[in-house]
Each structure stands twice: as structure tokens, then as C-alpha cells.
């Protein structure tokens, strides 16, 4: 139920952040739709799989996902630098077909959104950087818009199974709404390097907490 309820909170928060990004002129609707459309398909599949897995296993899997993203965030930079050493004319754009890259990114993020109830941002941002060659600021803004789409699909799947605590979800969503209003305003003022470091710290701290929660559930009678 925690995963299902978080999907509702994420929907409220991401919607508020996307509206603010749109008002500031930072919302690329075409990119959001190209990523969000395939994500909807797998978001529902993710909720079905998630409802059949033990909570402790879900939390442990989410913790591993966060740790893997620490590597993915830095992988793109290393790949580009290595390529440019071999050929200075190499750019930072996607190394594979852009449309295919967006489909793969959207499908993966959608499944993660439904499975873990995380909105998909923690996997969207690293994959956008790695596969689509986007800057971290652009990836964060686009992912927030895609999260609106994936969380709608995830909420629908969980609602059909009657797993959502609507009151708790809305309360959490309002809290996130306040935070996202502040973060969307400050993001343009921060350097890409600062945003990247903050993202890595968040992933590390969150992964430690998630593993601790998984251990507590595993030890519970």
C-alpha cells in the first residue's frame, strides 16, 4: 500500500512542478510525450508485478536501483571523454538512434514507476544523460513532465486493486508540492556540476535508508 500511496503523492508533486516549469518556459512537451507514451504501457505492467512481490524484496530492489544510478550518472561523462580522446570531433549527443533511445528510456522508466512507486525520475534522469545526451538540468525538467504521465498510469493500476490510501497520498502530495515550487525556481541558478553532485548525494542517502527499511521488514516476524 505504501508503494501505491506514493504514486498518488508523486502525481500531485510532479504535476505542480511541471506547471511551474511550463510557466518558466522550460517544458518541452514533445520530448515529454515521446518518453511518456511508451512509459504508460509498462507502468501498468510494473504495478501488476509489484503487487505480487514481497515488500522487503521490492525495497531491496529499489535500493539496488539507486546504487546503480550512481554509476549511470557518471558513466556518460566518462564515455564522452574517452570518445573525444580518440576523436575530438565527437559530441555529447546520443550514441544510438534518438527515437529508439527515447522508447527504451520510456519503457524502462514506466516499468520502474509502476514497480517501485517512484515516479520513474531516478531512472529517467540517468538514462536521459546516458542514452539521449541531455544535460542534467534538461533531464530533470523533462523527467518531471514524464512522471506526470507515468504516475497517472501507476495510480490507475493501484486504484483498480484498491491499494491507495487517498488521504495519506494527498497529504504527502501537498508537502511535495511546496518543495517542488522552491526547487524549480532555484534549479536555473545552479551549475550542472552542483546539480549532479546533489543528485548523487540524494541517491546515496536514499539507498542507505531504503536498505535499512528492507532489512527491518525482512527481520519482522
Domain boundaries, the chain: 2-219
Chain mean pLDDT for the chain: 79
Evaluate if residue 80 carries a pLDDT over 60: no
CB 110, CB 46: distance < 8 Å: yes
| Residue range 194-210: mean pLDDT, rounded | 87
What are the pLDDT digits (tens) for 165-183? 788 778 877 877 777 777 7
| 212: confidence class by pLDDT, cuts 50, 70, 90 | very high
**Contacts of 169 by beta carbon, 8 Å cutoff, 6+ apart:** 5, 6, 7, 8, 9, 12
Q: Compute φ and ψ for 180, nearest 5 degrees.
A: -70, -25
| Residue range 27-33: mean pLDDT, rounded | 89
How far apart (Å, rounded) are the C-alpha atoms in residues 179 and 76?
Answer: 29
Evaluate if residue 86 carries a pLDDT over 50: no
How far apart (Å, rounded) are the C-alpha atoms in residues 89 and 15?
Answer: 39
How far apart (Å, rounded) are the C-alpha atoms in residues 124 and 23?
Answer: 22
What are the pLDDT digits (tens) for 126-156? 888 878 878 888 888 898 898 888 778 777 7
CA 17 to chain centre: 14
How far apart (Å, rounded) are the C-alpha atoms in residues 14 and 162?
Answer: 22
Region of residue 120 (left: phi > 0; alpha: psi -120 to 50; beta: else): left
In terms of Cα–Cα distance, which of 17, 29, 28, 46 is closest to 107?
46
| Residue range 21-41: mean pLDDT, rounded | 88
CB 154, CB 113: distance < 8 Å: yes
Measure CA of the first residue to CA of the last residue in the chain; give whole Å.
Answer: 19
DSSP secondary structure code for residue 14 in this structure:
H
pLDDT given at position 144:
87
| 69: confidence class by pLDDT, cuts 50, 70, 90 | confident
Higher-pLDDT residue of 9, 33 = 33
Evaluate if residue 83 carries a pLDDT over 50: no
Angle between helices 192-219 and 136-160 (to 10 degrees): 30
**Contacts of 42 by beta carbon, 8 Å cutoff, 6+ apart:** 107, 108, 110, 111, 114
CB 21, CB 27: distance < 8 Å: yes
Evaluate if residue 90 carries a pLDDT over 60: no
| 120: confidence class by pLDDT, cuts 50, 70, 90 | low
pTM of the complete model: 0.71
Amino acid at each position: 500500500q505504501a508503494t501505491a500511496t506514493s504514486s498518488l503523492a508523486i502525481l500531485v508533486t510532479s504535476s505542480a512542478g511541471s506547471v511551474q516549469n511550463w510557466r518558466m518556459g522550460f517544458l518541452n512537451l514533445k520530448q515529454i510525450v515521446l518518453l511518456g507514451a511508451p512509459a504508460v504501457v509498462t507502468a501498468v505492467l510494473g504495478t501488476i508485478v509489484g503487487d505480487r512481490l514481497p515488500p522487503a524484496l521490492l525495497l531491496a530492489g529499489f535500493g539496488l536501483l539507486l546504487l546503480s544510478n550512481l554509476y549511470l550518472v557518471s558513466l556518460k561523462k566518462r564515455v564522452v571523454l574517452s570518445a573525444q580522446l580518440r576523436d575530438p570531433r565527437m559530441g555529447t549527443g546520443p550514441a544510438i538512434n534518438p527515437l529508439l533511445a527515447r522508447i527504451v528510456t520510456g519503457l524502462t522508466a514506466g516499468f520502474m514507476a509502476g514497480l517501485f512507486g517512484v515516479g520513474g525520475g531516478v531512472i529517467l534522469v540517468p538514462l536521459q544523460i546516458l542514452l539521449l545526451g541531455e544535460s542534467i538540468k534538461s533531464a530533470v525538467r523533462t523527467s518531471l513532465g514524464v512522471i506526470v504521465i507515468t504516475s497517472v498510469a501507476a495510480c490507475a493500476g493501484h486504484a483498480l486493486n484498491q491499494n491507495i490510501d487517498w488521504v495519506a497520498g494527498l497529504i504527502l502530495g501537498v508537502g511535495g508540492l511546496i518543495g517542488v515550487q522552491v526547487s524549480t525556481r532555484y534549479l536555473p541558478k545552479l551549475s550542472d556540476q552542483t546539480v549532479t553532485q546533489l543528485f548523487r548525494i540524494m541517491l546515496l542517502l536514499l539507498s542507505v535508508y531504503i536498505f535499512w527499511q528492507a532489512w527491518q521488514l525482512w527481520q519482522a516476524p
